[in-house]
Amino acid sequence: MSEYRGYTGMSLTFLKESNVKVGDSVKVTEDLTYTGILMPRYEHTDDKHIVLKLKSGYNIGIEVNKIKKIELLSSEKIETKSSSKIKIDSSLPKVLLLSTGGTIASKIDYRTGAVTPALSATELNSAVPELAEIANIDAEVIFSEYSENLEPEHWKKIAEKLDSYAKSDYKGIVIGHGTDTMQYTAAFLSFALAGYPIPIVLVGSQRSSDRPSSDAALNLISAFRFVVESNTRGVFVVMHHNESDDLVVGHIGTRVRKNHTSKRSAFQTIGNNPAFLIFDKKIEKNLEKEFFKQKEYVPKLNFDSHVALVKYHPGYNPKIIDFLVESGYKAIIFEGTGLGHVGKTMYEGIKKANESGLFMGMTSQCIDGRVGMNVYESGRDLLELGIVPLSDMISETALVKAMWALGNSGSPVEMKNLMLKNIASEFSD
């Protein structure tokens, strides 16, 4: 029942006896007094607590046995304010917003606990009115998933949707996306849609819009301003740069990584500075180089997910390599130590994988720098065993590129050539 969603046992009995339910505004007195909205609970939580959403935006758990009194303040239905019809400003460009899910693209119904997309143009205009001053917005939901649930099949669906708009009159396209796997999606789109004629921006938020420290609105505003004003093309990730509210940056889609679990500044460009700075209503190009070599748009949307990412460590069982070969994998990306090394216990398995025709690429576990497999004897041995050094390509980017290259090549030689070609700045200068 949505009225008591997630509550069982002791807490459910307490709520029923107190005549309060999920979505009600209540005042709870224990040692302190709290006022807030009674929230639903997850089904696997205990039955000893209730949860309130405070006015600050934060949730608090209160032990039922410590509650001295609970008062119902309001149980009126929570209505979403309807905003007036959006006026189209013919002087503004058109921007398409696509939603795949994630924190940035959802709203919470405190009565049911459901998280639903909040991406109609009307809702956006009401929630972030600054957007209406930047562009005329069309919005569409592709799917609504936590990003940890996204698979390569989802990447392809996004790419197909984007390809269908390649000849549209949009100034740019913004994709709302969960942060956990945003870098993987950005990498795939960078390869599959190389040469895309307008900018594509993936944007997310580390903290939901009902929290006072949320980065959702600023990231979204910055993403729209970026696609309208940057005068560039290609795939970027736009996110907070630091813990202040004055700087958002645009990262190249193949050079970005989520490096913190919860900070608003979780995303960083690896091996260089971010490509663009977005602050004080200004957008500055932060790198002088040409980001994307491919000028002509020739979409290549296929993939083959029979690729493994192997993070080598002391004690790694080399039989796992044999298992990958026997299981039908066609490529392995190694995340080796230092300049690109793995222990000699791995050599026999690597030799068999090479003889079986697998592509094997080497990246480094180090955050910065590039592999150099000619420096030490162990690196040279691995070169002889067929491993291909991938310079400073990020290991996650290399994994995605290998899936893409495998799906869009007809031979091992063609795949290797694609892996070594700098398509979307996956190799830094």
Active centre residues (catalytic): 103, 179-180, 258
Instruction: Tell me the CB-side half-sphere exposure of residue 151, using CA atoms within 13 A.
Output: 4
Whole-angstrom Cα Rg for the chain: 25
Q: Which residues contact residue 149 at a Cβ distance below 8 angstroms, ignoring those fewer than 6 apart? A: none
Q: Which residues contact residue 347 at a Cβ distance below 8 angstroms, ignoring those fewer than 6 apart? A: 381, 382, 385
H or E element that contains 362: strand 359-364
Distances (CA, A) of 173 to 47, 95, 253, 256, 290: 45, 6, 14, 19, 21
Task: Compute the distance between CA of residue 258 and CA of residue 260 in angstroms, rounded to an integer.
Answer: 6
Distances (CA, A) of 330 to 62, 301, 309, 353, 382: 53, 18, 12, 9, 18
Cβ atoms of 276 and 284 closer than 8 Å: yes
H or E element that contains 20: none
Cβ atoms of 359 and 416 closer than 8 Å: yes
Q: From the centroid of its chain, how far is CA 376?
A: 37
H or E element that contains 12: helix 9-17
Find tokens 């070169």 and name the residue. Answer: 383
| Residue 388, beta-bridge partner list | 361
Task: At 50, give phi and psi (nearest 5°).
Answer: -115, 160
Cβ atoms of 185 and 158 closer than 8 Å: yes
Q: Which two tokens stand for residue 56?
A: 């600050």
| Residue 37, beta-bridge partner list | 25, 53
Cβ atoms of 231 and 219 closer than 8 Å: no
Sheet holding 33-39, edge to edge: 59-63, 49-54, 33-39, 25-29, 69-74
CB-count burial class (<10 Å; 0-12, 13-18, 19+) for 342: buried
Task: At 415, give phi and psi (nearest 5°).
Answer: -65, -45
Task: At 222, give phi and psi (nearest 5°).
Answer: -65, -40
